[in-house]
Amino acid sequence: MTAPPEVNRRIIEALLQRELPRAKQQRLVLVHGRYDTSSASEFGLLVEGQQRRIKVSDQPSVLGIVEAWQRHRSSPDTDVLVVTTGVDDAELGWDLRGYAVGRATRTVDRVEIVKQRFGATDIDPRIRREPWLVDALLDAEPTVGWRRAGGVLTRDTAVRALIGARLGSRELAEGTLDVGALLSWSRTAASAAHFAELTATERKGLTDWLEETVGSAAVVLMTLVGAGRAEDAMPLGTLGAVLSLPGVSPDATLAFGSVLGVSGKRGSELREFVKEVEGTLERWIAEAEFATQGEAARQRVLDIVRRADELASSADLTVALAPSRFLPSSFSSRLRTLAENLSPARRTAAESALSSLRDHALARLYPDRVHTAAMAVRLTRWLAEAEETVDSVAAGVQRQLASWGWVDHALAVLWAGDAVHDPVVGRAYRAVHDKARARRDRLDEAFARRLEIWAAHASTQAPGGCLLVEDVLERIAVPLVGKDHAPLILVLDGMSSAVAVELGEQLAGRAWHEASPYSEHRAAAVAAVPSVTRVSRACLLTAGLTNGDQSVEKDGFAAFWRKHRKQASLFHKAEIGGHAGQRLAESLVAALAGEDVVGVVLNTIDDALDHGKGGAPIGWRLSDVTYLPELLDAARAYERPVVLVADHGHVLDRSTAGDGPVAAVGVESARWRVGDPADGEVALAGPRVLYGDGRVVVPWREDIRYLPKKAGYHGGASLAEMTVPVLVLLPSATLLPVEWEILARESVEPSWWSARAGVEAEAAPRRKPTKVRARIEDQATPLFPVEESLGTRVVASPAYETQRAFVPKAPNKKAIAAVIDELVKADRTRPITAVAALVGRAGRNPDFLARMLERLLNVEGYPVLSVTDGGRTLKLDVDLLCEQFGVQK
């Protein structure tokens, strides 16, 4: 007989489960084997519903077996005696074997036991050919037993179960098994340590199966785990980018091999491992952006890449890995490159550096740092443009909202700087900030000089081309009143142009249509003087020149709307919030649901300036303004147009240690006084100056204040304070007043702000927008024949003529061709508002335009053209277009 194999309690239990039901009165079981000394020698076993008491004795000789059996027969405490032995049946004799189950020594079929433990009826023959797998399955069975397989126990099922037990991961046993799951498991130190403790044979068997199942990357990973380097596996994979980066020296490759510490691995295996690590990092970064547990995912990625940076530094690989997309050091390197090129003369390099920074994988984990870098580049673009002048007060406030307010927004972000405090980056940001601030100061001074002259005679009857804050209700709000709808007027106290454009950017993605009575720009009003709440807000809400408190505003607001045969309610701070369980007060909700005009004053911005709270220093989100999201949602639900308006703007405090108030006489507030003007100040007098007996001294420089430090101030003559932004939002374009226009995002965003003012535009002067319809119809005949565009071929087709017959007053063919060509050029999608500009006045109502285009192009109902993104975007199916209209691409 062969040498006895080692058997343990589980094997004995499995054997008895099979043998005892067939036994009659036999209480002796002889087993060819050697009992594992670490297993219990006495235990209970449930066999077919009966509890049996088992004793195991390992005996190497016939005499030992006989003595053990005699003792067992005389003992009342045990039921079944199992004797493990290497003695051959021929030596035992029939007298002893006659007492044994089966009258012979039972041989352990380990594969059959595995099948039995899984509850299978058959077993994959490949399992029999892999002794390591059989031994491991018998050794690793959980205390609750293996999950029942049923039917045939396949090799894959067996190995998956073994992996779950050995690697301590139910996810690997029952969930999705791929390299990403293995990499995630490798970050759990205790579980990974279990693999390193397995025998070399079992580690190889598991690794080979994983290679077959998930790919060669598993070979490198499991080799690292087996070497006790599980936690460094992903950091090392991050460094592996050095294998594929262009221009990397052989020394760098050798250095990576040294820090990896894994020999005998093929280059293809290493490259596949690196690819999987990077792909997993990308997925985790996406989780960090969007998952509910985003911060945990973010920290997991940062732990890996920071450790990778440490390993790179120890191996002198930091420089070689500068092009890496994942290392913090390479992110910093790209940011420094951007900082070194922040000048108008090197704008091309700065644009390229910003693009490179955004392409870095960690840019998604450092959005604030990338945002700050983008602001620096935007200001560099603005500084590259010719310096503007202020020709009038009207032009000044309009440019403030259209362009210079965006500058102020960028300046606020750049003032806060980069979170990591890199001195090179900090100096570059400061240089850009100071240059842009100096230009803004010159604009403020020029505006103040114009304001000084204009203020002497300005009035509703002689506004000098300006929209006055006291005329906003008449000029902007009244046209929004319809037969079955009335506007919601949201007064954001202290909202500057910088804050307005930031909120406007966020609103652009929320299914609102922004409208204006002016062609291609927002409305900007001029605050009353001085630009403080008690004056300018009272003028706004009463539609007249006055000053006063909330009672004055309420009475004046209601009186104004009564003149227009409308009832109106105005809600101030204490009247907005509801009781427990209600965000908004019942009276406010009832007013919003009714037909009256509703006004609400939101003080969050002004309070932040006064008390230094909130996001005022660096930016505002819609959710930062208390009650604003809820009020906007209610307005949309009740189909109310919204007027988002300020009473005045503000400047932010930029004082440093040691800076104090300016010593002056006649101080009345932080930014206005009476007396004679000094440097940085201007004296304003006239009918719209409501304090100081009609004459006040106000600073135009943002760094002048007369009272102790706060987060920000208002009352002065700077563009940021005197400009009153007015944003009109429509829940539906059907509410658009006559002669008003829907504003495309491109029309309210300065060209230097976006990629439209990128490198390709450096040599091209900006031209005044023109009507595309006129441009299409007035094109000169080309000197040489040119190929007709797809749009031209479509509108010339018989199918289009048929469709056009069903659409009365359709735009001319050239305009429709231009729409098609624009969509093709823009990769099949464009905002409806941008497309609307191509068809002239028909584009004043984008929703109507979209329906008209669908009727023209969707032959027999096929979706050639569809409206997506909540009604904001048109999408063209070019293949279907060509098929339906019978034209070639």
Task: Give the pLDDT of residue 761.
Answer: 39
Residue entry with tokens 């644009």: 351
Q: Quick check: 159 pLDDT over 60?
A: yes
Q: Quick check: 479 pLDDT over 80?
A: yes
Q: Quick check: 842 pLDDT over 50?
A: no
Min mean pLDDT across 261-270, 326-335, 346-355, 434-443 is at: 261-270
Q: Quick check: 762 pLDDT over 80?
A: no
Contact yes or no for 86/92 (Cβ under 8 A): no
Task: Give the pLDDT of residue 357.
Answer: 96
Q: Quick check: 404 pLDDT over 80?
A: yes
Q: Quick check: 4 pLDDT over 90?
A: no
- For 403, the token pair is 């362009």
- CB-based contacts of 490: which residues, under 8 Å, 6+ apart? 599, 600, 602, 628, 631, 642, 643, 644, 645
Q: Quick check: 271 pLDDT over 50?
A: yes
Instruction: Place 763 in a pLDDT band, splitting at 50, 70 and 90.
Output: very low
Instruction: Place 786 in a pLDDT band, splitting at 50, 70 and 90.
Output: low
Q: What percent of the chain has pLDDT over 90?
A: 61
Q: Quick check: 765 pLDDT over 70?
A: no
The whole-number average pLDDT for the span 90-118 is 86
Distance CA 402, CA 398 (A): 6
> Helices in 729-812 by DSSP H: which ranges?
745-748, 772-777, 790-795, 798-804
The whole-number average pLDDT for the span 764-789 is 44
Task: Give the pLDDT of residue 468.
Answer: 98
Min mean pLDDT across 177-186, 408-417, 801-810 is at: 801-810
Q: Quick check: 778 pLDDT over 50?
A: no
Q: What mean pLDDT, rounded, does the chain reach?
A: 89
DSSP state of 568: E
Task: Give the pLDDT of residue 869.
Answer: 64
Q: Which part of the chain is CATH 3.40.720? A: 382-651+714-763
Q: Between 256 and 657, where is the model more confident?
A: 256
Q: DSSP string of 424-459?
A: HHHHHHHHHHHHHHHHHHHHHHHHHHHHHHHHTT--
SS3 content of the chain, % helix, strand, coil (to 5): 50, 10, 35
The pTM assigned to this predicted structure is 0.77
List, in sequence order, every residue forming a beta bridge with 725; answer none if it has no partner. Answer: 524
The whole-number average pLDDT for the span 486-499 is 98
Task: Give the pLDDT of residue 740.
Answer: 95
Strands 34-35 and 6-7: parallel
Q: What digits encode the pLDDT tens for the residues 199-253?
A: 999 999 999 999 999 999 999 999 999 988 989 999 999 998 888 888 788 888 8
Instruction: Place 780 in a pLDDT band, splitting at 50, 70 and 90.
Output: very low
Q: Quick check: 716 pLDDT over 50?
A: yes
| CATH level 3 topology of 382-651+714-763 | Alkaline Phosphatase, subunit A (3.40.720)
Contact yes or no for 650/720 (Cβ under 8 A): yes
Min mean pLDDT across 115-124, 266-275, 646-655, 844-853 is at: 844-853
Task: Give the pLDDT of residue 245.
Answer: 83
Distance CA 178, CA 649 (A): 56
Q: Quick check: 826 pLDDT over 80?
A: no
Q: Quick check: 34 pLDDT over 60?
A: yes
Task: Give the pLDDT of residue 423.
Answer: 95
The whole-number average pLDDT for the span 356-382 is 95
Task: Give the pLDDT of residue 403.
Answer: 97
Q: What digits encode the pLDDT tens for the residues 62-88?
A: 999 999 999 998 887 668 999 999 898
Q: What digits encode the pLDDT tens for the residues 597-615?
A: 999 999 999 999 988 744 4
Instruction: Kindly list the distances between the CA atom of residue 96 and the CA atoms of 28, 60, 66, in Å, as whole numbers in the listed order.
Output: 9, 15, 7
Q: What digits encode the pLDDT tens for the residues 658-711?
A: 889 999 999 999 999 999 999 999 999 999 999 999 999 999 999 999 999 999
Instruction: Place 870 in a pLDDT band, splitting at 50, 70 and 90.
Output: low
Task: Give the pLDDT of residue 758.
Answer: 43
- Cβ neighbourhood burial of 523 (10 Å; 0-12, 13-18, 19+): buried
Contact yes or no for 84/59 (Cβ under 8 A): yes
- For 611, the token pair is 């008390």
Task: Give the pLDDT of residue 706.
Answer: 96
Distance CA 745, CA 396 (A): 21
Q: Between 710 and 768, where is the model more confident?
A: 710
Query: Residue 601 phi/psi, 5° resolution?
Result: -105, 120
- For 597, the token pair is 């005009």
- Long-range pairs of 664-670 with CB within 8 A, sequence gap ≥ 24: 664/706, 666/697, 667/706, 667/707, 668/692, 668/696, 669/530, 669/532, 669/706, 669/707, 669/715, 670/705, 670/706, 670/707, 670/710, 670/713, 670/714, 670/715
Q: Quick check: 835 pLDDT over 80?
A: no
Task: Give the pLDDT of residue 889.
Answer: 78
Q: Quick check: 520 pLDDT over 70?
A: yes
Beta strands in 508-588 (DSSP E): 513-516, 523-526, 568-571
Q: What digits encode the pLDDT tens for the residues 534-558?
A: 999 999 999 999 999 999 999 999 9
Q: What digits encode the pLDDT tens for the residues 284-335?
A: 998 888 766 788 889 999 999 999 999 999 999 999 999 999 999 999 999 9
> Helices in 227-385 by DSSP H: which ranges?
230-239, 250-260, 267-290, 294-314, 328-340, 347-359, 367-384
Strands 467-468 and 523-526: parallel
- For 637, the token pair is 């639900």
Q: Between 263 and 793, where is the model more confident?
A: 793
Q: Quick check: 92 pLDDT over 80?
A: yes
Task: Give the pLDDT of residue 1.
Answer: 55
- Cβ neighbourhood burial of 345 (10 Å; 0-12, 13-18, 19+): exposed
Q: Quick check: 871 pLDDT over 80?
A: no
